[in-house]
Amino acid sequence: MPGYHDAHFQEHAARETVWRVVADHLASHVPPSARVLELGAAYCHWINNVRATRRVAVDIWDGIAQHAAPGVEARVLDLAAGLGEFADGTFDVVLASNLLEHFHPDDAAALAREVFRVLTPSGRFLIVQPNFRYAYRSYFDDYTHRAIFTDVSLPNMLKSVGYTIARVEPRFLPYSMRDTRYPIHPWLVRAYLASPFKPRAGQMLVVATRP
């Protein structure tokens, strides 16, 4: 969407640190031999820090190629039109961060079906997503949010289109880093992810598998 990155989603120095640690934290779900696709990759912080045989990043934003690391295939793609350029069973893991809330509910379900199609049997769909249960005060500060998901409704939507839910963490990460005033160190992110107490957590983690 023209202007969106300038108005709401500007680059932030903390994201690289956070996603490097998150990628390591979730590495057990992403085998090094995997073929990995990230949807709505934007600045590519997550996919750039994943160790995998093949890494593909897609986004509707034409600036994505400037941020993809060497070895990451960057493609401009309107996800509302589906994943038709990828064959069935192309990927072992699909990643999505702060994506599904930007679609109307029926379109989000349709995209989840497309992900199901391009996953291999036993493939995984890893989703980091604002959880309306904990982020309701700021959820619609992003003017492009269209659907509401919680740690109950998102797994239920995924189950409705065929997934098995392997893991749900209702409180996984803070909702936003835009208000962060101080440097974020890797040890602090690791401690946050390992802690049962997560102040300001407004994002959830859902791991779904294709049976």
Strand order in the sheet with 201-209: 72-76, 54-59, 35-39, 91-97, 119-130, 201-209, 164-174
Provide the pairing of β-strand 54-59 with 91-97: unpaired
For position 176, what pLDDT does the model report?
A: 79
For position 177, what pLDDT does the model report?
A: 65
- Residue 23 is classified by DSSP as H
Domain count, the chain: 1
For position 11, what pLDDT does the model report?
A: 56
For position 14, what pLDDT does the model report?
A: 81
CA 139 from centroid of its chain's CA atoms: 16
CATH code: domain of residue 150: 3.40.50.150
For position 9, what pLDDT does the model report?
A: 47
pLDDT along the chain (211 residues), means of 10: 49 82 98 97 97 98 95 97 97 98 97 98 97 95 94 98 98 78 83 94 97 94
Q: Which domain holds residue 77?
A: 4-209
